Each structure stands twice: as C-alpha cells, then as structure tokens.
Chain A
Amino acid sequence: MDVRLKVKRQDGTQPDSSHYDEYTVEMPEGATMLDALLQVRDYEDGGLALRYSCRSSICGSCAMRVNGRARLACKTKASDMANGDEPILVEPLGNMPVIKDLVTDMEVHWDKVRRITPWLENSGPEPEREHIVMHETMVDVSNALSCIQCGACVSDCTVLEVDKHFIGPAAFAKAYRFVGDPRDDTTMDRLKALSSAKGGIWDCTRCNICVEVCPKDIRPMDRIMQLREQVVNAGVEGGIGARHGTAFAGSVRRTGRLDEVRLLPESVGMFNAPRLLKELPGAFRMMRAGKLPWKDTLPLFSKPIAGIAHVRRLFDNARSEKKEAKR
C-alpha cells in the first residue's frame, strides 16, 4: 500500500524554519507509522529526525502527533490513519519545545515529574532485606506503575496549553503511584503539596484528553480524581477546588438539582470579597439577559424536586457507609 505522509519539519534553533514536507512510501499492509517514517528516513530523506527505540510500545520514545493526536508511532497502524485524499499529518508532541523535526525536548516533562518527589520516602528503620508488601495493597497503583513516560498526555493536555505551571497528567499519575504505595510514609505531605501547589490537582479541567491519548490506558485524569478524593477524605485543605465539590454536592442534597447561583459564592468563599466583586459584572450581565431570573437568585425560592427525600437518602447511605469504612 502507498502511505502518504505530510511531516512537520523544524530546526528548533530557528523558530521560523517550520514547514511541511510530503512523502509517499510503499509499505506492506499492517505497517506502523514508525515503519513508514523509518522508510522515509532510510530511503527518501536522511535528514528527517525522529526518536525511537524498542518498536513495540514499551520504551515510549516514539510518541508524536499523528492526525492531530499524540500517539506512539510504533503502536499506530498507518492504514488506520489514512485520511482519504489527504496525507497523514505527522507532527512533534505539543506543549514542549522542538529540538528537530519530530524530536522534542522532554525536559519540560521531566521537570514536572521531579516536582512530585518521584521516589519512595520512608523514615522508618530499614528492613533487613526488602520491604514486603501484600499483593492486594499494590493493585490500586499497578495501573499507574505501567506508565512508560512517553509524554503523549503531556503533549495534548488542554490545561498545559494555557498554563505551563500545571503539573500535568503524567506527573500526577506518577504522584498517585507513590500516594497509594503502602511503603511510603509521607502520604499526608504529598497530598498537601499536590493540593496546594501552583498548577496542582484542582486545576485539571477533566477534559479527558489524557485518557483518550494514553497508549497504556493509565487514564491519568482518573488518577487525578482519585488524588482529589484522597485529599478530601484525608481532611487536607483543598481550597476553592475542594469547596466547589462540597458546594455542588450540598446543592444536590438540598434541592436534587444544581443551584448555579449559590455554587460560585460557596466555592470561592462567601467572604472572599475581591473575588466576588470580580464576578459581579458577569452576574449582572446574566440577569440582564434574563438568564438568572430574580426568583431563582434568591436561594429561599429554589424548590426541591418531589423525590428529594429519596435523593437525601442516597446521600446519607453513601456517607454513613464511608464513615463505617473509616472506622
């Protein structure tokens, strides 16, 4: 089969050098994107730079964007990427600087991993031999342990696009791996740091892109949500992010529905005057447009649904069970 590629070329030291080159290579059915790119490099254009090693989705080196999504080139069949009349678009990972062509500077990613203290901390006496852990206690972190640090999730993270301080999906998944490890005795410190850090867990938008692009099904966003749950359960200060969740649940328990009018002040803090002032023009704009009828802006009037007793019962069940489990 003919594989048509449109590859982004760039010399990282010269920002204006970016352009696209097109290639067509003859490949066997079942060839991967990496096979096709190596064919280009070996027979069409020896100057094409790309990073790869194991060719079997273990090392994580060949992550790049294919048709706008981060993928492992070695795990992606070229035939699956065919675009009809359009060539397959191949670009370097996003959210990090390009060194050359498809090779990015992963330091951005490693810096984030360093921020979460990526090693076990245990101040207790050293065991005579190894730390023995029960199999069951590691099941929960085993998924996060399978991360190959390919950077696909970092590349496509929609928060990193607007905020380089965000710790990001891969590093949070790594953090979860240590928070959940029974050998680590700094869980509380870790949770505090992850919750209060600039670009911490509460800045994730839950957009699910990292879940979608991860070639190892780590589902980094789910790990971030588990970290949020642990922060709340451990009673660690979670700031506006945690209060947002509490206020949201409070609203549903009260009326069965979400009460948007109370959600914002309850989340940012009823006495957080500077922030509330910032939101006032927006609230007036909405009222003027008839989006927040007056009767609904007075919380006294938000009426619960008919079956509210049943909704509250579900809340009470869940919470008493949680208390029981804690005990």
Chain B
Amino acid sequence: MRYAFWPGCVSKGACPELYESMILTSAKLGIELEELYDGNCTGAGVISEHEPELADALNARNFAMAQKMGLDLINICSTCQGVQSLVQEKLDRDEEYRAKINAQLAEEGLEYKPGLVIKNFMWVLAEDLGLDKLKEQVVRPLTGLRCGPFYGCYILRPSRILGMEEHPERDDYLEQIIAAVGAEAVEYEGKDKCCGFPILTNNRKNSLTQTGTHIHEAKNQGADCLVTPCPLCHLNLDAQQPSAAEVIERELNVPIIHLPQLIGLALGIDPDKLRMNRHVIGTQAVIDKVLAAVEA
C-alpha cells in the first residue's frame, strides 16, 4: 500500500506529534507514504469563503501532483478531507471549469484528471487495510481504555460528497477502529458536532463553550480520552482545553489522542516516540492504563 501523503499544515506546525506518530504508525502497518513536500495548504474552507476559485486551483495543484506520482492521496486531517472532497466534486463534475483551472496549472507541468482517490487515514484503515488486518497487527490491545470518538465536521458533512453512499459506515469507522484495537468506544452526544475551532478568533466564548461542552459530556459518560482524526479539532480540544474549562466553569482534564497515536499504542510503539508527551493535557493516565492492561 503506497500513497501520496498530504500531511496538512497543522501536523507540520502546531501538532508535530501527529506527523511523527503517523510516520511511525503507518510504517509499522506497512503503509508507504510519499510525502507531497511541495504541496500547498488546502485553504481549510477559509480561502474559499472569499476566493472560491483560488481555493479550487490550490487544491487541484495538490491533486495533480499526486496523480503525477501515480498514487492515491492520503491525508490525516478531517478538514483537509472535507475541502479536498468538495473541490474534487466540483472539478470532476464540470469539464469546462476543470479546463479553466488546469490552464493555470499548465505552467508548472501539472494537470488534474478526474477520479483521483482521496482518503483520510481513518478511511484507509477501514477500507484499504481492513479492520481484520489491523486487529492481527495489534500486539498491545488497549483493553479497558474508554475512548470518546470525535470525528470533526468535514469528514462527515456534507455526506453527499464524502462517499457515504458507497461507504455508508464512514460515520461509524472511528468506533469500529477503537473496538479493533481493543478499546471501548464511549457514546456521547457531541461526537459528530463542531469543535468550535473555526470561530476561535472571531467568537472565543462560543468556540470554547462548544469544545468544553463536548469534552464534559464525554467525561460524564466515562471517557478516559477522546480520539480524533482532525488536528484542527485537536487544537481546540487539547490546546484550548484549560481555557474551555474556565469558560464552561467545569473541570475537564481529558487527554485528546490523535488517531495515529491510538493505533501506534496498540501496535506496541513507545508512547514517547508517538510524542504522547507533546500534549497540553497530559496523556500519562492513558499510557498508564494501556501499560497496566498489558501487565494484567
């Protein structure tokens, strides 16, 4: 299994632990990653607010680079997935528009042709690797660990462009993966809602109320941690969690784990190498529980 790898800006910026854990975890799973070092930001749906056509051209550039490598595209960010799927739908549907965008890429020797496969790591685990294969590779089952899944909006909605018809279980993969590595998925209301990150600058109170409410709910349902495939959600859920706790006036202190870190733990990778020590909310309680389960 070989993919053109789009790491996204945040895994190369404020969530370096995501990038490092993805590299280690995918190597262990036998997933080869050819990184798009020269790829550009997808715009995260922000650039498209003011300049939709520019955002489409920027994404088409990444798509064309993956195609030039002859590989499917993998990402590790719900937001990147949502933006990429949305742009791809537009480009694939409208030949005239595609030609207009391609004309801008020509100078760089790039061209986007319809039909590129673009998959988040979560989808790759469930659909390309397969959960049975994943289970086989688990050497440290995460028995007893209670994980609240947190998807991130853009990997779930709008469902019509996210392949949900062909893969109706895409809104349940996180629970299935949590179970596959031996942990237990905690059901709570906020799992598919908004983390609030997109409005952190504009409306801090609303943003942190959203993030705090979801964490608090999951904690009330007995979650030891939340697991997310989205680093933007991670920024609000983890890095902003102490501020969110102040805003909603509740004690939180719930570790937030990136999806590749969860898999890496189950594959037996050293937690320090997975950079579990690079979180704002300490993850030691999670690590202790995982290691205690192994000893038992």
Contacts and interface: CB of A to CB of B under 8 A. Distances in A.
Nearest to A222: B158
A163 interface: yes
A258 B41 contact: yes
B208 to A, nearest CB: 9
A318 interface: yes
A258 B159 CA distance: 26
20 contacts: A158-B194, A159-B206, A162-B209, A203-B203, A207-B153, A225-B49, A242-B50, A256-B38, A258-B41, A260-B13, A263-B201, A264-B200, A282-B242, A289-B279, A291-B16, A306-B38, A310-B61, A313-B104, A318-B54, A319-B54
A55 to B, nearest CB: 25
Contact of B104 (A244, A261, A317): A317
Given A202-B202, A206-B153, A257-B9, A158 B210 contact: yes
B273 interface: no
Interface of B: 9-10, 12-17, 37-41, 43-54, 57-58, 61, 82, 104, 107-108, 153-154, 156-159, 193-194, 196, 198-207, 209-210, 213, 235, 239-240, 242-243, 275, 277-280
A310 B202 CA distance: 31
Nearest to B58: A314
Contacts of A314: 54, 57-58, 61, 104
A209 B193 CA distance: 8
Interface of A: 158-159, 161-163, 166, 202-209, 211-212, 219, 225, 228-229, 232-233, 239-242, 244-246, 248-249, 251-252, 256-261, 263-264, 267-268, 278, 281-282, 285-286, 289-293, 296, 305-307, 310-311, 313-315, 317-319, 321-322
Given A252-B40, A258-B10, A293 B16 contact: yes
Contacts, number: 192
A313 B53 contact: no
A229 B13 contact: no
Contacts of A245: 46-47, 49-50
B202 A240 contact: yes
A307 B68 CA distance: 15
B40 A256 contact: yes
